[in-house]
Homo-oligomer: A and B are copies of this chain.
Amino acid sequence: MVGGGEGAFIGGVHRMAARLDGHWDLVAGNFQSDPDKSIAFGKSMGIDAARAYPDFRTMAASEAKRADRIDAVSIVTPNSTHHAIAREFLLAGIPVICDKPMTTTLRHAHDLADVARQTGLPFILTHNYSGYPMTRQARAMVEAGDLGAIRIVQVEYAQDWLARDIPGNKQADWRGDPSKAGPGGALGDIATHAFQLAEFVSGLTAETLAADLEAFVPGRKVDDNVNVMLRFGGGAKGMLWASQVASGSVNGLRLRVFGDNGGLEWTQETPETLLFTPLGEQQRIIRRGGAGASASAAYATRVPGGHPEGYLEGFAQIYSDAAELVRAHQEKREPNAFSKLVPGIADGVRGVAFIEAAITSSKANSAWTALSA
Binding site for B on A (CB under 8 A): 9, 12-13, 15-16, 19-22, 147-148, 151-152, 154, 156, 159-160, 163-164, 210, 212, 214, 216, 225, 227, 229, 231, 237-239, 241, 243, 245-252, 256, 258-265, 268-272, 275-287, 290-292, 302-313, 365-366, 368
Contacts and interface: CB of A to CB of B under 8 A. Distances in A.
Nearest to A279: B247
A164 B260 CA distance: 8
A286 B282 contact: yes
Given A16-B20, A216-B260, A312-B313, 12 more contacts: A12-B302, A148-B247, A154-B156, A212-B231, A239-B239, A247-B259, A247-B260, A248-B277, A250-B290, A251-B305, A268-B308, A308-B311
Nearest first, the 6 A-B pairs at minimum CB distance are A251-B306, A248-B277, A308-B310, A250-B306, A248-B263, A307-B311
A212 B229 contact: yes
A12 B20 CA distance: 11
B287 A258 contact: no
Given A237-B214, A306-B251, A308-B311, A287 B279 contact: no
Contact of A258 (B210, B243, B250): B243
B258 A248 contact: yes
A237 B21 CA distance: 43
A303 B247 contact: no
A276 B279 CA distance: 18
Contacts of A270: 270, 308
Contacts of A282: 276, 284-287, 290-292
29 contacts: A9-B304, A151-B225, A152-B243, A160-B258, A163-B279, A210-B229, A243-B258, A246-B258, A246-B263, A247-B258, A247-B277, A248-B264, A248-B276, A250-B287, A251-B304, A251-B305, A251-B306, A269-B272, A269-B308, A272-B310, A280-B291, A281-B292, A282-B290, A282-B292, A283-B285, A303-B312, A309-B310, A312-B313, A365-B368
A365 B249 CA distance: 32
Contacts of A256: 246
Contacts of A261: 247
A162 to B, nearest CB: 11
Contact of A312 (B164, B247, B302): B302
Contact of A245 (B151, B249, B290): B151
Contacts of A15: 22
A213 to B, nearest CB: 9
Contact of A310 (B160, B279, B310): B310
B247 A306 contact: no
Most B-side CB within 10 Å, residue of A212, A261, A292: A212
B248 A262 contact: yes
B258 A245 contact: yes
A290 B269 CA distance: 14
Contact of A279 (B13, B22, B160, B307): B160
